[in-house]
Amino acid sequence: MDILAQQRDYYRQRAPEYDQWWRREGRYTLDDQAKQGWDADIAEVTRALAAFAPTGHVLELAAGTGWWTERLTAHATHITAVDASTETLAINRERTAATGQVTYRQADIFTWTPPESTFDTVFFAYWLSHVPAEHLDAFWAKVGHALRPGGRVFLIDSYHPERMPDDLQRRRLNDGREFQVVKRFWQPAELEATPGWRLTAQITAHRHVIHAHGAPAR
Ligand SMILES: C[S@@+](CC[C@H](N)C(=O)[O-])C[C@H]1O[C@@H](n2cnc3c(N)ncnc32)[C@H](O)[C@@H]1O
């Protein structure tokens, strides 16, 4: 199976157990000190997102189970939440549908064309690291295409000081099944050098998270 199909399949199968990772439950459990650092980093990036103020119509790419969709509802008038997996979107819907602010869209980001000049913000969390190098230019062009004039971008991802061999990572589900995914760890300076964009990037205090925001350099 090709790598993009494999990572789609992985996240479909992982959907029911995905939030255990966010909550640090089960095999993702951390000791007290590490958990405090994790929680502090999530709180830090949540504050950064609030300071950015993702108001208006937000396009959330790879929205998943809605951990961030839920947080976006505190700011946005409306969110279009896109993900390839009906399984993750079902969980997202359970979490956020009552707000009446979210439209759910099952689509493959690599083949889907967003509506042009529509969104005030394009947001993606833990997604850019899964975009293979040969798809990066087209991905960023898609983000630019979706933004209305004056629109902005905010991204969140996992931070790691070193890249994986070939930017690939083996992942395991609770039942032991294994998959391979693209995992390209970004450094702030690399994100800030994204062609065609003016981005400001930062690592959280406990170095679990990298986040960046900005706009097209036009
Ligand atoms: C690491 S998860 C991030 C989910 C969510 N943004 C979060 O931070 O919890 C990656 C998400 O990308 C989705 N995904 C994988 N390949 C995709 C593709 N080709 N098009 C759209 N979504 C995809 C998966 O279903 C999964 O929900």
Assess if residue 134 is contained within a domain: yes
Q: Is residue 38 part of a domain?
A: yes
Q: Establish if 93 belongs to a structural domain.
A: no
Range of the domain at 199: 3-54+115-216
How many whole angstroms separate alpha carbon 123 and alpha carbon 60? 5
What does the block give as tokens for 26?
């089960």
Q: Determine the distance separating the centroid of ligand 1 and the alpha carbon of 26, expressed in angstroms.
A: 21
**Confidence grade of residue 57 (pLDDT, cut at 50, 70, 90):** very high
| Cα separation, 15 vs 29, whole angstroms | 18
Any idea what DSSP says for residue 131?
S
- The predicted model gives 14-30 an average pLDDT of 97
User: Taking residues 133-152, what's their average pLDDT?
Assistant: 98
Cα-to-centroid distance, 85 and ligand 1 (Å): 8
Domain-embedded: residue 67: no
Average pLDDT of the chain is 98
What is the model's pLDDT at position 202? 98
Of ligand 1's atoms, which has the minimum distance to the CA of residue 124?
Answer: 6
Give, as one character, the DSSP assignment of residue 165. Answer: G
Question: What residue owns the CA closest to ligand 1's atom 19?
Answer: 108
* pLDDT class of 1 with cuts at 50, 70, 90: confident
Residue 81 lies in a domain: no
Q: Is the pLDDT score of 144 beyond 90?
A: yes
**Does position 129 have pLDDT exceeding 80, yes or no?**
yes
Neighbours of 165 (CB within 10 A): 7
Residue of 2, 4, 6, 8 to mutate, ligand 1, most atoms within 8 A of C-beta: 8
In a domain, 200, yes or no: yes
Q: Looking at residues 110-122, what average pLDDT do you find?
A: 98
Residue 198: strand, helix, or coil: strand
- Is there a domain that residue 61 lies in? no
**Dihedral over alpha carbons 96, 113, 159, 194 (to 10 degrees):** -140
Round to whole Å and give the CA distance between 75 and 69. Answer: 10
pLDDT given at position 153: 98
Q: Which residue has its alpha carbon closest to ligand 1 atom 11?
A: 62
d(CA 81, CA 104): 5
pLDDT over 90, % of the chain: 99
Q: Is the pLDDT of residue 147 over 80?
A: yes
Nearest CA owner, ligand 1 atom 4 = 64
Tens-digit pLDDT profile for residues 65-79: 999 999 999 999 999
- Closest residue by Cα to atom 27, ligand 1, is 64
Q: Give pLDDT tens digits for 80-108.
A: 999 999 999 999 999 999 999 999 999 99
Residues with CB under 6 A from ligand 1: 4, 7-8, 11, 62-65, 67-68, 83-85, 88, 108-110, 125-127
Distance 58 CA to ligand 1 centre (A): 16
Task: Work out how many domains the chain is built from and give that number.
Answer: 1
Question: Is 212 inside any structural domain?
Answer: yes
Is pLDDT at 218 greater than 90 in this prediction? Answer: no
Which residues lie closer than 8 Å to 31 by C-beta, 6 or more apart?
none
CA of 64 to the centre of ligand 1 (A): 5
- Ligand 1 pocket: which of 95, 109, 142 to mutate (most atoms within 8 A of CB): 109
Q: Which DSSP string corresponds to 49-114?
A: HHHH---SEEEEET-TTSHHHHHHTTT-SEEEEEES-HHHHHHHHHHHGGGS-EEEEE--TTT--P
Q: CA nearest 156: which of 44, 80, 10?
A: 44
Q: What does the pLDDT read at residue 17?
A: 98
Is residue 121 scored above 90 in pLDDT? yes
Task: Identify the CATH number of the domain in which residue 145 sits.
Answer: 3.40.50.150
